[in-house]
Copies of this chain bind each other. A is one copy, B any other.
Amino acid sequence: MGDGPIHAFSGIYATSQLGRIVVDTLTRVRDTTPARGRAAKRNGISDVAKAAGVSVTTVSHAMSGQGQVSAETRAKVLRVAAELSYAPNRIASALRRQRSGIIGFVSDEIATTPFAGRLVLGAQSAAAQRGMLLMVVNSNRDVLVERDQIEALLAHQVDAVIYAKMYHQQIELPALLHQIPTVLVNAFDPAVAAPAVVPDEEAIAEAAVELLIRDGHRSIAHLTVAEDTPAMRGRLAGYRRAIQRAGIGIDERLIVRASVERGAAATGIARVAFASFLERGARPTAVFCFNDQLAMGVYQAAALFDLRIPRDLSVVGVDNLELIADNLAPGLTTVALPHYEMGRWAVDAATMMLERSDAMPGEPGPTRMASHIIERESVAQPVGAMHRAGGAPPI
């Protein structure tokens, strides 16, 4: 035994048949020349069977808990399997069972928002619990790439696919996915009866506005985007509903739209939009913003008008982009979208379809998932409201 990894045959296999059966009984020293090129040949079920002196069937049964195996045989098989660090070859298993144990995760975008990560994380943790693995592909919003990626997933016999978008939207499900159990995330296709999960946009706005109302605000602006999306519509509707439910009349002048493209410039445009809004004499005590970037713009606009947040103006955003929300001073109170939860839900829905092929998880229509508010320091009672809700209306 010279350099390199230290291997030893343990007692029971000392006279053993197969070169492949190699057991570490000594403490492994640090291996400075690890495997290159090819993966080391791993022990297979027949290696275990031989070493344990049983048939492969028994090993299979013992490992999977399927058939009937006596407790002692089972224990022995398990012990030997552990010693040989045997784990079933999922490729062979997949071929035989016609189940790969892989869920494809198709995302339109993975690098420019933190949403993708949370979605993947949620999906992955649910998948792990069920002994499945995720195969993540990402199209960068290129339909051709997406097609190729989906074909690759299908060729790899994924059991199901999660089709996720980063922004809540209506879509047309790629035809390729009609042949396989698919669940939509942050998206829905009215023409296809596939389970779908989306954020409950109205609830987001209601939660935010109710938080403000509870603190005594009666003059609450909504800074939103011009683009007509489910998110924009839903949050606007939720805003209206919460305002009205509190017995406050809707003041259309308090609803401001910033025509903004997605992405960075949002902040500047929001600042301009909101500043010109204040310029025209509007004096809300609070703003509910469509997203955190818009909220960041409001911080800048407030500075221009010498308005202190939260003393003179309370602000609530949506998205919980930590890079923004934590770094703003004061910290931004915002609504966190349920990406992690939607990821989990999607995998659960997919496996449910796999187990009972007649099952259709969720509601008819997209399942709407609740968000939660992350409170930081950008909300306070309006001056004059003091310790009760419904204080003196400002202006």
Contact = CB atoms under 8 A, between A and B. Distances in A.
Interface of A: 5, 28, 30-40, 42, 87-92, 94-95, 100-102, 110-114, 116-118, 120-121, 124, 128, 133-138, 140, 145, 148-149, 151-157, 159-160, 173, 175, 177-182, 191-194, 263-265, 267-268, 293, 296, 300, 321-324, 326-327, 329, 353-354, 356-360
A323 B326 contact: no
Contacts of A30: 191
B152 A35 contact: no
Nearest to A117: B111
Given A110-B117, A121-B111, A135-B134, A36 B181 contact: yes
A178 B36 CA distance: 9
B138 A87 contact: no
A140 B157 contact: no
A363 B329 CA distance: 46
18 contacts: A31-B178, A36-B360, A37-B358, A37-B359, A38-B181, A38-B354, A38-B357, A90-B157, A91-B94, A91-B95, A91-B156, A95-B95, A101-B156, A110-B120, A134-B137, A264-B327, A267-B327, A296-B327
Nearest to A356: B37
Contacts of A327: 264, 267, 293, 296, 324
A306 to B, nearest CB: 15
